[in-house]
């Protein structure tokens, strides 16, 4: 009987010590509300980071990095430590780059410029291209 009381006493002391130790050195948990905008912003940042990394993994981009003397793996590691603002700015620049050239926009711009030039020269009287311009 004495042995069991002594064993129970030593186990109780050991458990009390463990509970005190854990309550002193473990920080309490704080629960707060998370806004939807914060979650969406974090999601957008992850998407932008993935976009930049996938852009950097393209063969032509990797070849350009190598021509500048930068290893593509090193550049990707640098992207991983960039801030969210830098990543979003870089992803925006990637979105603005022409993908294979903007042929339709270029053709429309050239066509409009040619039309305006011919219209002005027809109004001045240098050319006679358009029939709807009244000549004097």
Backbone angles phi, psi at 13, to 5 degrees: -65, -45
For the chain, give the percent of residues with pLDDT over 90.
1
pLDDT attached to residue 99: 63
Average pLDDT of span 59-84: 82
Would the pLDDT of 100 be above 80? no
Q: Is residue 25 part of a domain?
A: no
Average pLDDT of span 106-114: 77
Q: Which DSSP state fits 134?
A: P
Query: Are 128 and 106 contained in the same domain?
Result: yes
Please, which residues have CB within 8 angstroms of residue 66's CB and are 6 or more apart in sequence?
72
pLDDT attached to residue 91: 85
pLDDT attached to residue 118: 78
Q: Is residue 1 part of a domain?
A: no
| Least confidently predicted of 37-51, 77-91, 92-106, 109-123 | 92-106
pLDDT attached to residue 103: 62
Residue indicated by tokens 């350009």: 64
When divided into structural domains, the chain yields a total of 2
Q: Is residue 18 part of a domain?
A: no
Q: Which residue has the higher pLDDT, 1 or 54?
A: 54
Query: Are 54 and 91 contained in the same domain?
Result: yes
Please, which residues have CB within 8 angstroms of residue 45's CB and are 6 or more apart in sequence?
84, 87, 88
In 3-state terms, what secondary structure has residue 123? helix
Range of the domain at 75: 35-97
Q: How far apart are CA 90 and CA 54, in angstroms?
A: 12
pLDDT attached to residue 110: 76
Would the pLDDT of 101 be above 70? no
pLDDT attached to residue 72: 82
């Amino acid at each position: 009987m004495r042995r069991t009381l002594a064993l129970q006493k030593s186990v109780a002391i050991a458990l009390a010590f463990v509970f005190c130790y854990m309550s002193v050195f473990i920080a309490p948990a704080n629960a707060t509300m998370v806004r939807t905008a914060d979650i969406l912003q974090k999601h957008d940042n992850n998407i932008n980071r993935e976009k930049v990394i996938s852009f950097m993994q393209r063969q032509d981009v990797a070849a350009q990095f190598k021509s500048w003397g930068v290893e593509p793996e090193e550049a990707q590691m640098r992207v991983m430590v960039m801030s969210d603002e830098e990543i979003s700015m870089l992803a925006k620049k990637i979105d603005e780059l022409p993908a294979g050239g903007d042929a339709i926009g270029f053709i429309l711009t050239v066509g409009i410029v040619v039309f305006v030039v011919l219209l002005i020269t027809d109004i001045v009287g240098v050319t006679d291209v358009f029939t709807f311009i009244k000549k004097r």
